[in-house]
Structure 1
Amino acid sequence: MAALALTVVPVAGGATLDTTAVAAAAGGDTAPCGPGRFLYVFNGDASPHTVTIATPGTVSGVAIADVTVAVAAGMTAAIPLSNMFRGATGRAAITYDGVTSVKVGAFELGT
């Protein structure tokens, strides 16, 4: 899995997320979790794609289901990376059903 670098987005400024986003890795990506952090996904493909974020935790011994987000063709998604996605490495594990024309980035809202 490729490790996505965290980019701080200034709240008062006009940051363009597309310029920082990179091609989604075929084997998946990891990203840092925490308050104010999110995964940006741009699907430039002609087909929809599904992003899956692993949820390594349990509640009363029952595994929490992984989160899946469908991103329509030509659309974007901002998926919060809360601490519930934090794996053993301290990062979220992210996979994609396809990576053709898919760009992603890990962002944090700044001040």
Structure 2
Amino acid sequence: MTALVTNVVPNAGLDIGSLPVAATNGDTAACGSGTFLYVKNTNASACTVTLTTPGQIDGRLAVADSTFSVAANTGIGVIPLIYNLYADPTTGLATITYSVTSGVSVAVVRVP
């Protein structure tokens, strides 16, 4: 897994034109208020982005992982990285996987 860098968006804006590619074995990212995963998909297939939901109800019932679909060819997705939903209790990071990675680029941005 690759740890994605969080890009803080300054008042003047942020150019995220040069995005890292999605890691074939998944990524991890900081999560929290104002933090988003930006996904750009130029692959001929739609990309399903899965965020692991490590929480449990009553300490034993797993919460289903969250999935988001990013359209093929020109799809762009912005997914909130909510701490209470996605932070791993050990690392504090969200775990992210992708159904396709060729042509998929990602960035983590945080708006202060």
SS of 1:18's partner is: coil
- 1: CA distance between counterparts of 2:68 and 2:91? 23
Superposed structure 1 runs of 4+ greater than 3 Å apart? none
How does 1:89-108 map onto structure 2 within 5 Å?
89-108=91-110
Aligned amino acid, residue 79 of structure 1 = I
- CA-to-partner distance for each residue in 1:18-54, whole Å, 9 max, x for gaps? 33x2000000000001100010100011211100000
SS of 2:78's partner is: strand
| 1:56 pairs with 2:92 | no
Aligned amino acid, residue 85 of structure 1 = Y
- 2: CA distance between counterparts of 1:95 and 1:38? 15
**Consecutive unaligned residues in structure 1, runs of 5 or more:** none
**Consecutive unaligned residues in structure 2, runs of 5 or more:** none
Matched residue count: 108
Residue 8 of structure 2 is matched in structure 1 by 8
Alpha-carbon shift at residue 16 of structure 1 (Å): 2.5
- 2: CA distance between counterparts of 1:106 and 1:14? 14
Task: Give the TM-score of the pair, scaled to structure 2.
Answer: 0.91
Task: Give the TM-score of the pair, scaled to structure 1.
Answer: 0.91
- For the 8 Å contact 1:17–1:40, the answer to whether it is kept is no
Alpha-carbon shift at residue 9 of structure 1 (Å): 1.0
- For the 8 Å contact 1:9–1:108, the answer to whether it is kept is yes
C-alpha RMSD over aligned residues: 1.1
